[in-house]
Amino acid sequence: MENIIKKICQFKYLPVLLLLIPLLIWLSRFYPVRPEITDPEQALIPVRFFLPDFNDDMDLESLSLAVEKNFDFLDRVGPDHMFQYGPDRFTCSQVRESHEAFLEIIRRASSPKELSKMVRENFNIYKAAGGAKNRKVLFTGYFEPEYEASLMPDDIFRYPLYGMPEDLVKINLSQFSERFSGESISARIDGLDVVPYYTREDIEFGKALQGRGLELAWLKDPVDVAFLHIQGSGRLRLKDGEILSAGYLAANGRQYKSIGKHLLDRELMTREEMSMQSIRTYLTENAEIVDEVLNYNPSYVFFRIRQGGPYGNIEVPLTPGRSMALNVKLFPKGSLCFISCEKPILNREKEIDKWVPFSRFIMNQDTGGAITGTGRADVFWGSDEYAEIAAGHMKHDGKLFVLMKKGLKTQ
């Protein structure tokens, strides 16, 4: 295949190539639907031609900070730990070497054009296989919300956030059969049986965890609790003004189901008006269906109170605009990535005026229950007003690339 492309790229074939490009682009719309990818070796595809322009719309200081935070993670996993980059495997030491080489390029590049050129020259590029239907990656966003909270319940603060229960166990299925390599389940032991852990409805309405001293804090609104579960972390503002950080610790293992999709399926909202903000508004105005809608999602998150953060699944602080969540089973943790998608531009009234293309380097430092397959990515936008708006409305197709330094021997 490479020889064919090289021949085509010779001058005498250049007119033919230019004529074929529009046809190939048009035909790409008719990709046959393929099965969902479950093998990490197929999640990333090496790219040798038609590389993207590595233009970055943010400041390079934030990029350096996000990359440097990764070293804490790499130090923890050890130098010989293996990471799967599509068909290739690299040691933790090699990933660290790649990160260091990238930081050096950031320091040396005198212009965005030179930065793009140096990345092309010094890094191998892998492209995410994308979704089963269109081979693209659907980008959504998340942010760190802030809610009023209390460390003691009362008539106003009645809805608890729970810490991890002692009877929640995670079972590594690969110990039982090679067929389940990399698979695990969360469950509880009931007598001699291993059974699924309690659902959201069991916990919130069946009071399955009540009286066990697991409550960390109480919020005013069950919708606040549900949205905090979806975001995975948030700030809790206490009555005296103190701010606590509630971070993800574990989940009940139940499959995440989108309450937004549930509202669409029931024709209670339209696709055009769908956003995190509009869902909240609808539930506020239709309190009689709140319980039914929230219980549609059986997934439940357990938290811990910690300083700093928010933290991703690799236990490093997330950097606004520079951290994102990918499927932990398919993409290498802590990998250096590059994305292209669209972001919102706000008007003076803090409303979305338009969406514009953007691209940037970003780190894979988190994961989430809704981030499944090779065609999903979730950008962490931060904790300010823009972050909330961008996270609530972003649902756009884009491209995802992963970078690794050239010249490193695959394992």
- Could you report the per-residue pLDDT of 384-393, keeping only the tens digit for each? 999 999 999 9
In a domain, 17, yes or no: no
In this prediction, residue 75 carries a pLDDT of 95
The region of weakest confidence among 88-102, 130-144, 317-331 is 130-144
- Do 228 and 153 fall into the same domain? yes
Compute the average pLDDT of residues 86-109: 97
In this prediction, residue 18 carries a pLDDT of 63
For the chain, the distance separating the N- and C-terminal CA atoms, rounded to the nearest angstrom, is: 24
Q: Name, in order, each residue with C-beta under 8 angstroms of 14's C-beta and a sequence gap of 6 or more.
A: none
- Do 118 and 219 fall into the same domain? no
In this prediction, residue 2 carries a pLDDT of 47
- Do 188 and 294 fall into the same domain? yes
- Do 213 and 87 fall into the same domain? no
For residue 26, pLDDT beyond 70: no
List the CATH number of the domain containing 322: 2.40.40.10
Beta strands 376-380; 137-142: pairing state: parallel
- Do 223 and 342 fall into the same domain? no
In a domain, 28, yes or no: no
Domain that holds residue 175: 145-306
For residue 58, pLDDT beyond 80: yes
- Percentage, residues of the chain above pLDDT 90: 83
The region of weakest confidence among 20-24, 153-157, 274-278 is 20-24
